[in-house]
Structure 1
């Protein structure tokens, strides 16, 4: 496609593409800048709204503290606190505390009524006893609810009112947001002290957090949604209804929903998490959202405020500005493109067209080499025209020189024809000689291959014999080792048999000693039996006095008889052992004789095997030496075969060179003929130009 394009198109198309690319790049740049501007504007609005809300919270907290301070030094208030301290501060139903509570209600009734009449709302004034117990909430008739009923007690606040604990601990005032039963509350707390500076308790006023929200979202198209950290739900008991105050993402609870729920539908848990850490913003068409953290009196993040506002006015203005800038840029780029195209046509395309017409005349053999281009400028196009005129002069001179030299070319071609004929004859003789040498080397190579194959087979057989000899030598060596082991084992067997004979002989002697002992026991039993018989007779003579002794004598006689019987059995067993021992000694002696014979035979075998092992090793060494000699012969045959192959290769290359010479001679002959024809054609071509 590029080859078929006109020069003007090649110049104009890149220019057009450049204009388009610049336009697109400019549009993207402007769009990016405007997008950044929108982000900066949105961030600025979000940060300004965050500062506005924090300022409002700080202002209300300061006002609340100032109001509370008005009641912290009043004499009648201090007297009521002193009355309360006369009671039991740990008993929420203490009657003294109740009297102090009623006294404060009576003392401040007119003040609170006047405030409500002027402001239209009740002042939320709260007095506390240390460390954190409610004395009286003056905007209520009774203190708190228990099991659905209002009761007038001094309820304990220590589990969730850290501000009260802190003020009553260090005696310093506090102000700011603290989570209460209804959510966020702006509090100002001042210590109540008597004239001596003794801390009696504290007093606080509560300001509505909703008033801050209403003031921050008072403009048209604006709204403010409050989210509290879900971890504070244990304190904010009035927000525990999931239908009215749903939990978002498991970490936030909706405190103040909007009427149409449109903003809540755009808020995501990730957006709230970003708002926990700092100012975050996002835009959904013409609706913009900004989220920023809510911090309590101690600076701890306890919630997130989401500010929604209509951004259609300034987004429309930004779009209009972008449109006008892009339109102006497009107009400038188009004008630049048209001017560039006109200049290109006037100063480049037209001179190149004249030059192209001259070149066409040259290619179609109708050129007038005496005609020249007109040089109208000193730029690159003017230089190109000047150099083109010089090129025509050069071509004119070359053609004249070609016309003069064409005759010399014709004469030289005739000499080349004769030289080519001579080369062709010499190459034929060289080719025939090389063919004869190649036949001889091929026959020699075949013979060497036969010898090499035979030697290789012989080497394989020698290798097999050597391997078998080595295996046989190893086997005989192993037999010799095993025979030696057998001889050692027979010697050990003879020794063991001797030891067994000695031990059995000792056993026979021991049984003979035991037999003697049993004979002694038998004699003693007979004597004991005789003594028992005599004792029985003597007892019978003694009459009634010897009856007991007769019983004992009778028992001794029976025991002696039993001992005699068992001793006889032991003697019989020992006689059996003596007979078996004698038989064992005779058999062990026979085994010893047999093992001695085996030892002699094994010794003879070991000597013969050792001699055979030496002979086998000699055979293996001789076969190994023969194998080495065969390998050397194979190597020499291989070297000879390689030399023959190299000779055959050299002869082949000589034959190839001879063929190349013949081909070259033929080519020279053909080129000489072509050169002669070319000289004739040059004469014809030069005649077509006017020089």
Structure 2
């Protein structure tokens, strides 16, 4: 058992109870299945069989009552009604018999049912003869058959039904008793298994507890000896269990502590020797630290003056950067205004081109109007000639053509006015064409001036771009100068703070060196006390 791990022991302690519990559960489940089977047989076979047999007996008794009523009635309608009821009852009895036949479970029950079936069929044959006699109104013969042959057949199959009922009741009782027996056996078996499991658990627990307590007592004794300063003791014979691994760890720790104790004793001797040397060194370091403090204070004063100069340079660079930004803004505004002026000049050029096109169209239209006036002038001349010819012809006609002569004079006068009007229009059109040509020359001149304005604006834009680039370059340089000055100021301030901190640290070092000198003396004293404490352990 020494080589068994605690986990294996605990597993063994719980494995057997678990197996026993599983066995108990399986046996219980099997017994409960048997009990459930018996209860199912009782509820689904024996009890339904008893109920169906009793129903058959009751219904056949009711059937005989209908036979009595058939014999008693003489009215044809009442007899027919009774016969219908008898037919329905026979169908119901047949259905109940078929239900019961499905539940037959033994040869004895099957034999009894066959006897019942045969006797009941004989009874039905007798019933058919009885009803036939009753319908022929031979009531006396029918009554004699009812109380004689029919009653005997009824009693015979009724006795068989009673035997079937008793058989099914006995089957139900036997199934119930068997279920009770299975239950009692299951209870006894579970009690036995509970006792066995309890005994196994108690025995295994006691064995494991004794083993663990014994092992822990060995380890406890070894640790008590270590607490008394004895590092030479070792734990043996605990095997490869967790306790054996714990004992091995204890042995390794004891050996390690013993080695460390020896080393600490040697270190204490060396510490005492070094403490004397450290005390002399600390005195020299204290003197050098005070000299360093004076030099660092001078550097701190120079750096403060440098930081002030760098801050002024940074402020000037920032002001120059702001002025450069303002110049850049003005250049951008002028460049934008020039762009707007250029856009306006382009729009004017387009408007002049469109006006020139309109003037050219007007010139073309005036030329076309002149052509139309020529045509009108030609028509008026021809009209004048026709009117003159008409006047001549009217004069030749004499008195008959006098009215026509008047009309011809009016036409000739109208043609003359038309010629004069066309002359006036021709003069106006000539003046209009002259003005259009003059306007065309002016439009072309304005277009050339607009193009010249655009070229000048382009040159100015190029100049603005150069100025803008130069101002940007200056702005970048100023920004770099400002950044550099700011960084220099920040660095200088940081150095100044660091120097100030260094002065403080040097002051602290001076105090520290002074304290270290005292500590070296204390260290020598502590080393002596350590040697005395380490002497407590026996390696």
**Alignment TM-score, normalising by the size of structure 1:** 0.39
The structure with more helix, counted as a fraction of residues: 2
User: Greater RCO between the two (CA within 8 Å, min separation 6)?
Assistant: 2
Greater C-alpha Rg: 2
- If each structure's strand is expressed as a fraction of its own residues, which one has the higher value? 1
